[in-house]
Amino acid sequence: MSSLTAPAPQLRIGPLPLSVPVVLAPMAGITNTAFRRLCREYGAGLYVSEMITSRALVERTPVSMRLIRHHESETTRSIQLYSVDPATAGEAAHFLVGEGLADHIDMNFGCPVPKVTRKGGGAALPWKLSHFRRIVEATVKAAGDIPVTVKMRKGIDADHLTYLEAAKAAEGAGVSAVALHARTAADFYSGTADWDAIATLKDTITSIPVLGNGDIWSADDALRMVEQSGCDGIVVGRGCLGRPWLFGDLAAAFRGEKRKATPTLGEVGDALRRHAELLVEFFDGDEQRGCRDIRKHVAWYFKGYPVGGELRARMARTESLQHLDDMLGELDRDAPYPGEAAEGQRGRAGTPKKPALPDRWLESRELSEASRAEVSAAELHNSGG
C-alpha cells in the first residue's frame, strides 16, 4: 500500500478546478457519453470524450457531431481533438468554443496505431517539432479562454524521443497541462510504463501541471505513480475497462481514504446493465445498436468472476435489453469479489513493434512539402493513444 495518505492537492487545468487529480483517458469506441456518465456515477474526475478528428468536426460529419454530444449531467464538457493541420485544428476549436460545446479541449499526439503513424500522425507527429508547435498554437489561439491540454507519448522509439521538446513547445504555446503516456510508439502497450520519464517531464515543465499515464490498474498504482514521479495528476485508460467503480477508488485514495470497491457478481451485472441502458440512450433509443456496442465490454466486466464460457459467449451476442436481462438472471448474484483474479491488466498489451512511418520521416525534424500531403491523409483515420 502506498504511504501517500494525506489528501492530494486540488488540480487545476487552467480555470477548471478538479476535486480529485484524475482524468479519464480518451479511448476510441469506449469513452462515449454513455461510459463517461457511468464512470461519473461511481467517482469524480475529468471525463474526456473519445478522439474526434478536427477535419471531421469542421465538416460536421454525423459521427463527429454525435461524439461531441454531452449529457446535461456532464458539467465539465471535455473533448479530445486529433489534428495534423494548424488551420483545421484552429477551425475545429473555434467551432467548439463559438457554439459553446466544450469547457476543455485535449489534443492527441499519442496514437501509436500503424495506420496513423504511417501517415505521420499521432505519436509520429511531434518529431516534426515546428509543425507540432503550429498546430498547438493555432488551437490555443482559437480556444481563447477554454483550456487546451496535450497528451503525448515519449516518442517514436528509444532512439527518437520527443516528449521533452514537445512538452516545452506546448508549454510555450500556452497549453494548460501536458499528459504523458510513458511509452513510445514502438512500445505500443507492451512492457512496463516508464514512470521515471514522467518524473523527468515534471522536472522540466514547471509552469503547468504534468499528468502521468500508463499502468494504472488500481488506486494504489495511482498513488505510487504520484509518489515516484511527482506528477500533478493521473490519466487512467485501460484500467477502468469493465470497472467504472475504479473512479470511486481513485477519488477515495486521493482524498486520503482507505476504501476499495469489491463488487459481487450481481453488482457487476447491474453495472453492465446500466452501461447497456446508457448506450441505448446514446444511440437515440436504438436498442439493437446499443446492445451491439455493449458486447465488447462483457469480458472486461466479468474478468475473474465465475461466469461460464457458454454464458459469456451468449452475452457477447446480446441483441436486446430483455435478452441481456434474461442472461444476467442466470448469474449467481451473491458470488463474491474474486480478488486478484479480477485485478491487473485489462485490454490487449500487444508486443513491441517497429513504428510505421512515412518514407524518410526521421531524416529531418522539419515537415517537407513532400510529406505535407501525406500527413494530411493521417486525419482520415481515427484511433486512441
Q: Give the closest residue to 236 by CA, choosing from 39, 34, 8, 6.
A: 39
User: Binding site for FMN: residue ranges?
Assistant: 26-28, 80, 151, 181, 237-238
**DSSP assignments along 341-360, one per residue:** GG-S--S------PPP--TT
Is residue 355 within 8 A of residue 157, CB to CB? The reply is yes
Is residue 275 within 8 A of residue 242, CB to CB? The reply is no
What is the Cα–Cα distance from 233 to 281, expressed in whole angstroms? 32
Q: Alpha carbon 33 to chain centroid distance?
A: 13
Q: How far is CA 93 from CA 58, 144, 241, 378, 382, in A?
A: 9, 9, 29, 19, 18
Is residue 195 within 8 A of residue 222, CB to CB? The reply is no
240 part of the active site: no
Q: Give the closest residue to 88 by CA, choosing from 114, 42, 60, 55.
A: 55
Grid cell 463488487 is found at: 263
User: Binding site: residue ranges?
Assistant: 26-28, 80, 151, 181, 237-238
Q: Which three cell numbers stand for residue 278?
A: 446508457
**DSSP assignments along 199-261, one per residue:** HHHHHH--SS-EEEES---SHHHHHHHHHHH--SEEEE-GGGTT-TTHHHHHHHHHTT-----
Identify the active-site residue in 111, 231, 240, 291.
Answer: 111
Residue type, 46: L
In this structure, how many other beta carbons lie within 10 angstroms of the beta carbon of residue 255?
A: 14
Q: Give the closest residue to 84 by CA, choosing from 61, 118, 60.
A: 118
Catalytic residues: 111
